[in-house]
Amino acid sequence: MQTKLVNKKLSDVKADITVEFLTADEVSSHELATLLSQAGFKGKEDQICFLYEKEILLCGLEDRSADNLRAAATLAVRTLKNANYKSAKTQIKAEKTFSALVEGFVLGEYAFNDYKSENTKTALTTISFSVEELDHKKLKNIFEETIIIAKATCFTRDLVNTAPQELNPKTLSEIAEKLAKDNGLTCNVLDEKGLKKEKMNAMLAVGRASVHESHLIHISYKPKNPKKIISLVGKGLTYDSGGLSLKAATSMVSMKMDKAGACAVLGMLKAVSELRLDIEIHGFIGAVENMIGGNAYKPDDILVSRSGTTIEVRNTDAEGRLVLADVLDYAQDKVKADYIFDFATLTGACMVALGPYTTGIMGHSTVLKHKISFAASSSGELVGSLPFNKHLVKLLKSEIADISNVSSKPYGGAITAGLFLDKFIKDENKEKWMHFDIAGSAYSESAWDCNSYGATGAGVRMISNFLQNIK
């Protein structure tokens, strides 16, 4: 679908149908108020009204906030996809909510149909946004940036949604290399020989039962004279069976999403490089497949991580933190960053704590948490802060190693996973680091807001916003 910003009055823009957004208070003063009343349209949230003879689609709004406009635009574009209109237009009424409106149309239009034998095509090809009595030049910049971020989010969604027989550690590395070539980035990949040389034994243990070799991907965007240096670390479990601590059959379905952290990092690199931000970005991805076999790592194994910290394995399904332990240590040695963010579909416990739509954020810096929360709110993503405390640290104690990979009690699972990662953050980087648990927000079994079934691209809009406004 093509999106266009048109410097004309709405009435002068040619399109098959006009989309309008109305609050309940605005319905009564509308020029078609009588007709709307007869149709039963009251301007409520999630309510739509097709006036076919007038070539108008009306969408209800709780209010004109960015979040509500984004959701209403999503509903509008999904409705239009099921109709037979080729083009639609809508009017921009406020600069501050323009980005959300565009996102709603672009992200709401997304669907992943690569595996459908008969891909149903929609007639809708064009959405035009009319600028009237607003600064067209300024809106053009916002429009172009919004499209870049939205497309990077959809790029991330495509990667997460790709089936595991196609996307494994090797093919994920190839995708990163192609992105680097296309966007002028640098990319270096360590195979298992390189991982062994780096003594990344925790990561290697997780992937050793797979037929696919584990890879570490380092992809970088390096502009001249960057004002900040950021390291982004992604969990790339291209499939997670749980290992010998085998998941239940129903829990294995959708485990292709366990690579969502890695895919988000690639999406962020795509967005930042196309926005041409003056910030140096390093993406570090641990690409691994956790399978079963005669050589699989086992509960009771003691692993020596890259940092030298020994880990008692009590559950092989707590594998993502083992991969991240080595990748985080590697990232800190390779790059002296101003911020270090890791992204992982790490724990079901995060969904228990925050629900299925919210990313859990953890770290030591209250200031950084506030900045991330502001970026999330501004971009339309949801985050919730989960607090560290010294008493939960004790639950990771091991009698035979430096640390256990799971808590000794079934409570605070998302936080204890974060505290496990904290063990591998160097003291000088504690205040620079933030852990993002996207287990609930990265993938959905049903459509919500601007997200369709499947991958959401969680993290891309939020971090892009954070980086755009970094000082």
Same domain for 356 and 418: yes
Same domain for 464 and 342: yes
Same domain for 73 and 184: no
Query: What digits encode the pLDDT tens for the residues 419-470?
Result: 999 999 999 999 999 999 999 999 999 999 999 999 999 999 999 999 999 9
| pTM (global) more than 0.95 | yes
- Taking residues 366-385, what's their average pLDDT? 98
- For the chain, the domain total comes to 2
Task: Tell me if 88 is assigned to some domain.
Answer: yes
Which regions of 318-385 does DSSP assign to beta strands (E)?
Answer: 339-344, 359-363, 383-385
Same domain for 439 and 308: yes
Task: Tell me if 153 is assigned to some domain.
Answer: no
Same domain for 335 and 256: yes
Instruction: Report the distance separating Cα 102 and Cα 149, nearest Å.
Output: 11
Residue 133: pLDDT over 80 = no
Task: Tell me if 114 is assigned to some domain.
Answer: no
Query: What digits encode the pLDDT tens for the residues 137-173?
Result: 999 999 999 999 999 999 999 999 999 999 999 999 9
Task: Tell me if 372 is assigned to some domain.
Answer: yes
The three-state secondary structure class of 257 is helix
Same domain for 229 and 89: no
Task: Tell me if 429 is assigned to some domain.
Answer: yes
**What pLDDT is stored for residue 119 in this prediction?**
78
Task: Tell me if 125 is assigned to some domain.
Answer: no
The overall average pLDDT reported for the chain is: 97
Helix spans in 162-307 (H): 169-183, 192-197, 201-207, 249-252, 260-275
Task: Tell me if 123 is assigned to some domain.
Answer: no
Residue 253: pLDDT over 80 = yes
Same domain for 447 and 341: yes
Beta-carbon-side half-sphere exposure of residue 70 (alpha carbons within 13 Å):
20
Which of these is catalytic: 70, 78, 321, 461? 321
Q: What is the CATH number of the domain that holds 291?
A: 3.40.630.10
Q: How many CB atoms lie within 10 A of CB 412?
A: 21
Query: What digits encode the pLDDT tens for the residues 58-82?
Result: 999 999 999 999 999 999 999 999 9
Q: Can 321 be counted among the known catalytic residues? A: yes
Q: What is the CATH number of the domain that holds 101?
A: 3.40.220.10
3-class DSSP string for 308-332: CCEEECCCCCCCHHHHHHHHHHHHH
CB 207 within 8 A of CB 297: no
- Taking residues 253-276, what's their average pLDDT? 98
Which of these three, 41, 76, 109, is where a domain ends?
Answer: 109
**What pLDDT is stored for residue 340 in this prediction?**
98
Which of these is catalytic: 42, 222, 228, 247? 247
Range of the domain at 383: 162-468
- Taking residues 394-405, what's their average pLDDT? 98
Task: Tell me if 283 is assigned to some domain.
Answer: yes
Which of these three, 73, 88, 109, is where a domain ends?
Answer: 109
Which of these three, 67, 92, 109, is where a domain ends?
Answer: 109
Q: Can 78 be counted among the known catalytic residues? A: no
Sign of CA dihedral 136, 137, 141, 147: positive
Residues 6+ apart with CB under 8 A from 96: 66
Residues 6+ apart with CB under 8 A from 213: 169, 170, 191, 192, 207
Residue 135: pLDDT over 90 = no
For residue 134, what pLDDT band results from cuts at 50, 70 and 90? confident
Helix spans in 128-168 (H): 136-161
Same domain for 173 and 100: no
Same domain for 97 and 201: no
Backbone angles phi, psi at 101, to 5 degrees: -65, -45
Query: What digits encode the pLDDT tens for the residues 266-320?
Result: 999 999 999 999 999 999 999 999 999 999 999 999 999 999 999 999 999 999 9
b/e sequence 418-435, b meaning 16+ C-beta within 10 Å: bbbbbbbbeeebeebbbb
For residue 132, what pLDDT band results from cuts at 50, 70 and 90? confident
**What pLDDT is stored for residue 426 in this prediction?**
98
Sign of CA dihedral 380, 139, 132, 123: negative
Same domain for 226 and 85: no
Same domain for 237 and 103: no
Same domain for 292 and 166: yes
Backbone angles phi, psi at 340, to 5 degrees: -130, 115
Instruction: Report the distance separating Cα 159 and Cα 455, nearest Å.
Output: 9
